Amino acid sequence: MEATNQPISSVCFKAGNEDLVYASAGNEILSFDVRMGPQAEPLEKYNYNRDEINQIAVSSKGFLAAADDSGDVKIINTIQKCMYKRLREAHTSICSSVQFIPWKPWTAITGGLDSKLAVWDFSKGRTLFSIDYGSPEMQNGSSGTGQCFNPPFVHSIAVSEEGILGGLYKVCAVARGDGAVDVVNLEYELAPAKSKGLPRMADLSLSSKRTDIGDGCASQSQGKRIHLDYTVGGHTSSVSCVTFSVFGEKGKFLVSGGNDSSVKLWDWSKGFSSETNSNGELVLNMNVSKKVNWLCTAPTDSDNLIVCDTSKVLKVYNLP
């Protein structure tokens, strides 16, 4: 279908109704019913963003989030068809990525080219916590934080679905510009923000390797953050995309793609196990010849990895 005369920057399906798709182009969001075919006209249009939109996401409660070049995120109520909240001041540069957190329906997570990751209570328009990957504490921490010649911009965020791996983990994965992939235990990080009333925009530093954070009652495995960089077989250039697998045991693997023309499959949960002393295991390393722009997985036994790279060819692979 001919949606617009501008480049499409992001698309997503409406939660619970995959006949309805949202697309962003420039600073505008349009919705379409795909059953109408090539002649479909936009059902809705939203023009609340002042700058170009980089990514959109839809929550199960009908909220639409749009992250743009100004660093702002607009939250739109698609039921009442109006802007609900403007999330601002967390990012000082382009906001590149936004996702809702499935198990906390009033919470969203954003990442930007200011090297910051922020988690929001979007009903109140305030941050619950943030991680500044470019902070002096991060840059001057222990060795092996990534490729020093690339800033740790946040290019992509993936949030695990509720109930993966027996409901043991509620995490997000972060694709960084310095070649590293981080896995953050969101459930653990959000707990102190709620119980201790941490100040807005509290900076939580993240060590370059797996970190155990204890509060006297939590188990060690609850507070770990996993850091997957080139020292453990990770990317040697910027990571452009990251996603949790939906084939086999849902969420068991983390898939990352980067500007080093590689796709990597990680058994990430081993880094959270108290029985192991690792950051996670690299299961598969694939050279796809071109820089990876985006990737996703499919819930099938074959043809279950789809890769969009800088070529004109959409590539489909079989993963074990």
Residue owning tokens 């939250």: 75
Across the beta sheet with 95-100, what order do the strands follow?
95-100, 107-112, 116-121, 126-132
pLDDT attached to residue 186: 93
Identify whether the C-beta of residue 114 lies closer than 8 Å to the C-beta of residue 96: no
What is the average pLDDT score of the chain?
86
Q: Residue 37 CB: number of other CB atoms within 10 A?
A: 8
pLDDT at residue 91 is higher than 80: yes
pLDDT tens for 108-133 read: 999 999 999 999 999 999 999 999 99
Which of 31, 61, 88 is the C-terminal boundary of a domain? Answer: 88
The reply to whether 143 and 280 lie within a common domain is: yes
Which residue range(s) make up the domain with 84? Answer: 1-88
pLDDT tens for 297-317 read: 999 988 899 999 999 999 999
The reply to whether 107 and 80 lie within a common domain is: no
**φ, ψ at 144 (rounded to 5°):** 85, 35
Identify whether the C-beta of residue 168 lies closer than 8 Å to the C-beta of residue 187: no
pLDDT tens for 180-231 read: 999 999 988 888 644 544 443 344 444 333 344 333 333 334 457 899 999 9
Q: Between residues 27 and 221, which one has the greater pLDDT? A: 27
CATH of the domain at 34: 2.40.10.480
Among 289, 294, 293, 297, which residue's Cα sits nearest to residue 317? 297
The reply to whether 121 and 256 lie within a common domain is: yes
Q: What is the DSSP letter of 146?
A: S
pLDDT at residue 277 is higher than 80: no
Numbers of helices and strands, H then E, in the chain = 2, 23
The reply to whether 216 and 142 lie within a common domain is: yes
pLDDT band at 88 (very low <50, low <70, confident <90, very high): very high
pLDDT attached to residue 280: 82
Note the Cα 241 to chain centre separation in Å: 8
Q: Between residues 205 and 263, which one has the greater pLDDT? A: 263
pLDDT attached to residue 59: 96
